[in-house]
Amino acid sequence: MENNAPKYDSNDIQVLEGLEGVRKRPSMYIGSTDFHGLHHLLYEVVDNAIDEAMAGACHNIDVRIGTDHSVTVIDDGRGIPVDIVPKLNLPGLEVVLTRLHAGAKFGSGAYRASGGLHGVGVSVVNALSERLDATVWSGGRTYRQSFARGRPTGPMQAGEETDKSGTEISFLPDRHVFETPRFDADVIMVRLQELAFLNRGTRITFTDEEGGKNADYKYDGGIVSFIQYLNEQKEPLHDPIFITGAADKTIVETAIQYNAGFAEQVLTFANSINTTEGGTHLSGFRSALTRSLNDWARKNGVLKNGDDPLGGEDVREGLVAIVSIRLVDPQFEGQTKTKLGNSQIKGITETIVGTDLSAYLENHPTEARRIINKAILAMRAREAARNARELTRRKSALEMSPLPGKLADCTERDPAKSEVYLVECDSAGGSAKQGRDRGFQAILPLRGKILNVEKTHLHRILANAEIRAIITTAGCGIGDEFDASRLRYHKVIIMTDADVDGSHIRTLLLTFFYRYMRKLIEDGYVYIAQPPLYGVRIGKEIKYFHNDHELTAFQQTSPKNLEIQRFKGLGEMNAEQLWDTTMNPNGRAILRVTLEEAQRAAAEEMFTVLMGDKVEPRKAFIETHALEVRNLDI
C-alpha cells in the first residue's frame, strides 16, 4: 500500500519557550476562553491577595473594573519579592510573572495555607493579557514592571520611597484570546463577598467604573455571618453553632444552623477555594453530624432500642452549614479545584466536628431536641415517601414501568439526540403533538400548576400526579437516587404561555428541578422555550415577535397596514405555527438554564424569597424590581 503521509522528523518538533504554550493552548490552563475563562483570570489574581490574607499579612483588598475592561487588584500584603532569584539572575517579580510553576507555594514555608497551589496563576494571567502592569511596595521603596502578552517591555524599575507594603496588578485581557472582554460585576461581587465571609476581618472593596456598581465587604463574624446571611430569608430554629479546631497543621471551621425549611445547603471550602463537588472534608462533616445526633437521641431516649437510626438525609433536612478548612498541602482534583482529595482530612474534620457538636448538644438540650425532632419528622416523611418513590423510580429492563399515558414519546432512543417538551396545558399539548418531529421530540402536557416543592415534604411531592409524570418521563430518579446517565432526553424544554400564569408555572418547574434534579441544571439539560408574543400578517406573509420592543421596532420601519395578533397562550397557535416559531431547531430560540458556581448562594436566596413561606421578603423583592418588568400581562 502506498504511503502518502507527510514526512515527519525532528524538524517538525516545536519547543514553545516561556509562556508561548499558554497562548497556544489557553484552555489547558484556564478551562476555556469564554465567560468562565475570562473571570478565571481575575480570580487567580484575587486568590493571590487572599493567600496573603490567610498568611495574616493582608487586611485590605481592592478590586476595580475599568471602563476599558481592564482589572486592577490591590492588596496591602507583603508584596511580591523583588530581590534577585539566584538561579535565573532575575528579580522575583519578573520570575513570578513570566515562569510557569514559579512561586512560594510549594513548601518554602512562606505560606501556611494557599489556594494558588499550582503556581501557574498570575503568569497565565500575564500570558493572556494584552498588557499587565505590576507595582510592588516593599522594603520602603516602590518597584514597577510592565508586560505585553507575557513578555517584559523593560526591566523592573525601582521608584520612589514609600511606607506602604503590598502589590498592585493591573491587566487587560487579550481580545484576540477571549470571546468577550466584558466582566460581569454581579458574578464578581458574589465571589468577593464569599471571600470576605471566609476571611474574617478582611475588607474587600469593589468598583465597577463602567457599570457604576460598588461594594464594601467586611465580616468580623466570619462564617457565622455567612450562615446568618444564607438563612436571612428563612426561619432559623436556633442560633448558629460555631465549631473550630486544629490538628496536624490543619484548621477546621464549621458553622451550622437549621431552619424550618426542607432543603439542605452545605457549602465547603478549602483554603477559601469553593469545593463545589465536596471531598474528604464534606465526608468527615457528614459522618460527624449523623453520628453525633444519633448518639444524643439514643442517650436521651428520643430514639428507643429497636428504632431505626436517623439517616444522613434526615439530619440534613433544613440544614445550612459552612465547612471551611485550611491546610498546608491541599490535593485538588484538577486545576478547577472543585473537589478535595486529601484522605487524612476526613478523619480530622470528623473528629473536630464530632467532639464539639456533641458537647454543644449536651450543653444546649432545648436546641438539641428541636434539631432532633425535625430530623425525626424528616425520617417519618422519608418512610412515607418510600412507597410513592417506588411508583416513580425507573425500573430495570426486566421490570419496565409504563411511561405516563399522556406522554407522546419520540422514536429516537439516543438521549443525546432526544428532547422532551413540558407543555403548560392539554390544548397546547395537542398542538405540540401535531406539530412536532416525532423522530426526536417528545411531548408531556401538564395540567395546571404543579406543587410548590419549596413548601412541602417529599412524600407529598411524590403524591402529585404531574410531578410523578415528570420524574417517570425523565427516567433518572430524584434526590439521592438521581443518576444523570439514565436521563432519557438531553434537552428538557419548559414551554409555557407568555403570560403571568405561564411564568408562574415555569418558576414552579424550575424550583422542582433546582431542589430535586439540580444536576440537570448544572449539566445544561434544562431549557426554556421562547414562543412569540405577536404574529403580524403582511399580505400572505406572517412575521413573529417575542416582545413589545421587537414589534415596535418593526412598526417604525413599515408604512404598511399591519394585522397584529397577540398570542395570549400557546393554544392560540396551530400546529404549524408552533413548529415554525418555537419547536423547529433550525429557527427556534431556546434559553439554556445554567447555575454558575459563583451564583449558588444567590440562587438559593432567590428560590427561598420567591417560593418560600415568608411573604415580606417576596413583597420587598417585588417592590424593588417592579420598574424592571418588561412584559406585563394585564
How far apart CA 438 and CA 412 sit, in angstroms, is 8
Same domain, 48 and 99: yes
Chain segment 162-196, per-residue pLDDT in tens? 999 999 999 999 999 998 888 999 999 999 999 99
- Within a domain: 5: no
Specify the pLDDT at position 205. 98
For the chain, the domain total comes to 4
Return the SS3 of 207.
strand
> Is the same domain home to 351 and 436?
no
Phi, psi of 404 (to 5 degrees): -55, 140
User: DSSP letters along 252-310, please?
Assistant: EEEEEEEBSSS--EEEEEETTEE-TT-BHHHHHHHHHHHHHHHHHHHHTTSS-TTPPPP
Q: Is residue 96 part of a domain?
A: yes
What's the pLDDT tens digit per position in 287-315? 999 999 999 999 999 998 888 899 999 99
Mean pLDDT highest for which of 116-130, 160-174, 532-546, 590-604?
160-174
CA–CA distances in Å: residue 404 to residues 393, 443, 446, 474, 565: 13, 11, 11, 11, 35
Q: What does the angle CA 533 – CA 534 – CA 540 come to, to the nearest 5 degrees?
A: 145
| Position 399 pLDDT exceeds 70 | no
Rounded to whole angstroms, the Cα distance separating 499 from 632 reads: 8
Percent over 70 (pLDDT), the chain: 89
Q: In terms of Cα–Cα distance, which of 488, 494, 446, 506 is closest to 590?
A: 494
Helix-strand-coil split of the chain, %, nearest 5: 40, 20, 40
Q: Which cell goes with 529?
A: 422555550
**pLDDT-derived band at 409, boundaries 50, 70, 90:** very high
Whether residue 72 is found in the same domain as residue 181: yes
Q: 579-602 burial, b if ≥16 CB within 10 A, otherwise e?
A: bbbbbeeeeeebeebebbebbbbe
Q: pLDDT band for 623, please (50, 70, 90 cuts).
A: confident
Which pLDDT belongs to residue 52?
Answer: 92
Give 396's pLDDT tier (boundaries 50, 70, 90). very low
Do residue 277 and residue 314 come from a single domain? yes
**Are 27 and 94 found together in one domain?**
yes
Q: How far apart are CA 364 and CA 362, in angstroms?
A: 6
pLDDT at 158 over 60: yes
Query: Using CA atoms, how far apart are residues 533 and 633, in angstroms rounded to an integer?
Result: 11
Q: What is the pLDDT of residue 201?
A: 96
Residue 614 lies in a domain: yes
- For the residues 472-479, what does the mean pLDDT come to? 88
244 and 100 share a domain?
A: no
Q: Which of 185, 217, 249 is the last residue of a domain?
A: 217
pLDDT tens for 540-569 read: 888 888 888 888 888 888 776 788 888 877
Least confident of 14-28, 507-521, 523-537: 14-28
- Return the higher-pLDDT residue of 103 and 585: 585
Confidence (pLDDT) at 114: 56
Q: Tell me, yes or no, whether 394 lies in a domain.
A: no
- For residue range 230-281, what is the model confidence (pLDDT) as tens digits? 998 889 999 999 999 999 899 999 999 999 988 899 999 999 888 988 999 9
User: Which pLDDT score, from 0 to 100, does residue 374 have?
Assistant: 94
Contacts of 1 (CB under 8 A, 6+ apart): none
* φ and ψ of 497, to 5 deg: -65, 155
Listed range (26-35, 99-108, 236-245, 484-493) with the worst mean pLDDT? 99-108
**Domain boundary residue among 217, 244, 265?**
217
360, 389, 418 - which closes a domain: 389
Does the pLDDT value for residue 356 go beyond 70? yes
Q: Where residue 455 sits, what CATH number does that domain have?
A: 3.40.50.670
More confident residue, 534 or 498: 534
Report the range of poorest mean pLDDT among 201-215, 327-341, 383-397, 407-421: 383-397
Cβ burial 214-230 (10 Å sphere, 16+ → b, else e):
ebebbbebbbbbbbbbb
State how far the Cα of 344 lies from the Cα of 178, in Å rounded to an integer.
39
Instruction: Report the CATH number at residue 82.
Output: 3.30.565.10
User: CA dihedral in degrees (568, 569, 572, 578; nearest 10)?
Assistant: 120
Q: Are residues 120 and 253 in the same domain?
A: no
pLDDT for residue 10 is more than 50: no
Q: What is the pLDDT of residue 250?
A: 94
Do the domain assignments include residue 11? no
Beta bridge partners, 418, equal none
pTM over 0.85: no
Judge whether 493 lies within some domain. Answer: yes
Q: What is the DSSP string of 297-343?
A: HHHTTSS-TTPPPPPHHHHTTTEEEEEEEE-SS--BSTTTT-SB--T
C-alpha cell at 565: 395578533
In terms of domains, do 24 and 167 share one? yes
CA 524 from chain center: how many Å? 12
C-alpha 81/C-alpha 90 separation (Å) is: 11
Instruction: Tell me: pLDDT of 106 over 60.
Output: no
Give the catalytic positions in this structure. 424, 497, 499, 501
- Cα 284 to Cα 266: distance, rounded to the nearest angstrom: 13
Contacts 24+ apart (CB under 8 A), 541-545: 542/577, 544/580, 544/581
Domain housing 48? 20-217
More confident residue, 567 or 143: 143
pLDDT score, position 111: 53
- 376/457 same-domain check: no
pLDDT at 423 over 50: yes
Q: Are 611 and 455 in contact (CB under 8 A)?
A: yes
Give the residue with greater pLDDT, 540 vs 354.
354
Q: How large is the average pLDDT for residues 39-56?
A: 92
> CA 165, CA 336: separation in Å to the nearest integer?
30
**Would you state the pLDDT for residue 120?**
56
- CATH number assigned to the domain comprising residue 343: 3.30.230.10
Among the residue ranges 391-405, 490-504, 511-525, 549-563, the one predicted with the least confidence is 391-405
Cβ atoms 503, 622 nearer than 8 A: no
- Using an 8 Å Cβ cutoff, are 171 and 131 in contact? yes
Query: Is 501 inside any structural domain?
Result: yes
Does 333 fall in a domain? yes
CA distance 134 to 74: 10
**What distance in Å separates the CA atoms of residue 318 and residue 321, rounded to the nearest whole number?**
10
Q: Averaging pLDDT over each range in 394-408, 504-518, 588-602, which range is the top one?
A: 504-518
CB-based contacts of 433, cutoff 8 Å, min separation 6: 408, 443
Residue 578, class by beta-carbon neighbours within 10 Å (0-12 exposed, 13-18 middle, 19+ buried)? buried
Clarify whether residues 179 and 278 are in a common domain. no
Pair (314, 430) in one structural domain: no
Place 600 in a pLDDT band, splitting at 50, 70 and 90.
Answer: confident
The three-state (H, E, C) secondary structure of 572-617, written as one string: HCCHHHHHHHHHCCCCCCEEECCCCHHHHHHHHHHHHHHHCCCHHH
- Given this model, what pLDDT does residue 579 score? 93
| 3-state class (DSSP) for residue 224 | helix
Q: Are 173 and 128 in contact (CB under 8 A)?
A: yes
For the chain, give the mean pLDDT. Answer: 86
Q: Are 471 and 451 in contact (CB under 8 A)?
A: no
Those residues whose C-beta lies under 8 Å from the C-beta of residue 100, and which sit 6 or more positions away, are 19, 21, 22, 119, 120, 123, 124
Residues 486, 560 within the same domain = no
Three-state SS at 421: strand
**Which of 6-10, 381-385, 422-426 has the weakest average pLDDT?**
6-10
